[in-house]
Amino acid sequence: MDLNLRMIECFKAVMAAGTVTGAAEMLFTSQPAVSRSIKQLESATRAKLFDRVRGRLVPTAYAFALSQEVNTVFKGLDHLRRAAATLKDFQNGNISIVCAPAFSQGFIADVVTAFVRKHGDVSLTVETHVSWRIGELINDQKFDLGIAAYDMTSLGVEHETFCAPAEVCVMAGDHPLASRRAIDPADLDGVSSIFMINHDPYRKRLDRTFETVGVQRRLVIETSNSAAACAMALRGAGVAIINPLTALDYVSSGLVMRRFSAGGPFHSTLLRARHRPSSPLIELFVAELKSVRDDYLARCEAHLNA
**What tens digit of pLDDT does each residue of 54-84 get?**
777 888 998 898 889 888 888 887 777 766 6
Q: Are residues 185 and 236 part of one domain?
A: yes
Averaged pLDDT of the chain:
90
| pLDDT confidence of residue 153 | 76
The answer to whether residues 209 and 61 belong to one domain is: no
- Say yes or no: 81 and 121 in one domain: no
Question: Tell me: the pLDDT tens digits for 273-295?
Answer: 887 777 888 999 999 999 999 99
Same domain, 14 and 158: no
Domain of 43: which CATH number?
1.10.10.10
177: domain CATH number is 3.40.190.10
Residue 242: Cβ within 10 Å count? 27
Backbone φ, ψ for residue 278 (5° rounding): -90, -175
Number of domains in the chain: 3
- Mean pLDDT confidence for 254-267: 96
Which three-class secondary structure state does DSSP give residue 144? coil
Average pLDDT over residues 248-257: 96
Residue 305 lies in a domain: no
In a shared domain, residues 189 and 240: yes
Q: Rg of the chain over CA atoms, in angstroms? A: 32
Of 174, 164, 195, 169, nearest to 184 by C-alpha is: 169
Q: Are residues 291 and 150 in the same domain?
A: yes
151 and 195 together in one domain: no
pLDDT-based confidence at residue 245 (cuts at 50, 70, 90): very high
93 has pLDDT over 90: no
Section 24-28 average pLDDT:
88
- How big, in percent rounded to 5, are the helix, strand and coil portions of the chain? 50, 20, 30
Residues 69 and 149 in one domain: no
Domain, as residue range, for 49: 5-88
Of 64, 88, 112, the domain-final residue: 88
202 and 138 housed in the same domain: no
Considering 67, 88, 109, which residue would you say is the last residue of a domain?
88
In a domain, 304, yes or no: no
pLDDT for position 89:
46
